[in-house]
Amino acid sequence: MAPERDGVRERVPVGATAAGRPRTPRLDQPRPPRRRFLPEWDPEAFGRLSESVARFLGTGRFIVWMTFVIVLWVVWNVSAPKELRFDEYPFIFLTLMLSLQASYAAPLILLAQNRQDDRDRVNLEQDRKQNERSIADTEYLTREIAALRIGLGEVATRDWIRSELQDMVKELEGQQNGHKEHQGTFPVMRAEHPPGRDADDH
């Protein structure tokens, strides 16, 4: 029988493989965070920092300040008292500092260029999609204009209606003139044949 603890019966795995089965993590619970020995940083913040440093390195202000520091360094280590000099004539420490600065500046500039390339790629993709939408809109408008032209070809225009009305007016005027001429000749014919007796009565 299974041992009981505080009035609750403890469940014991049954079967040959129950004892050696490893416990798998539950899928409805998040995994515990792994321990990392390396420091973590935000790639976006580091990228912004690299871009700001690269922008500063590519300005004339950096060149002026760097030239000022190097000249001051050389003048101090040449003209200062011997006990106050920290870098003698070969200026090995200055060379080391310049090499260290160059070794850090090159990766920062490359990282800034990579971020700029990524932005350019995204901008080009957006421009390509915008151009495709513009071409599709232009083709749609072209088809609509062609359909409107075809539809307007079957619609009575103002000039056509005006010409038809002018033809109808001319036709009505011609009919009225013909009717007046017919009315003008009819009384003459009645004068030739006076009323009273018919010509056959003679």
pLDDT tens-digit series, residues 108-139: 888 888 888 988 999 999 999 999 999 999 99
Task: Read off the pLDDT of each residue in 65-73 and give the average, rounded to a whole number.
Answer: 93
Residue length, the chain? 202
Task: Read off the pLDDT of each residue in 86-99 and give the average, rounded to a whole number.
Answer: 89
Q: Is the pLDDT of residue 49 over 70?
A: yes
pLDDT tens-digit series, residues 166-176: 889 988 888 88
What is the token pair recorded at 99?
């090499």
pLDDT classification of 97: cutoffs 50, 70, 90:
very high
Question: CA-CA distance, 117 to 120, in Å (whole number)?
Answer: 5
Rounded alpha-carbon distances, angstroms, from residue 47 to 32, 109, 117, 162: 29, 10, 13, 74
pLDDT at residue 199, as a whole number = 47
Task: Read off the pLDDT of each residue in 35-45 and give the average, rounded to a whole number.
Answer: 74
pLDDT at residue 40, as a whole number = 72
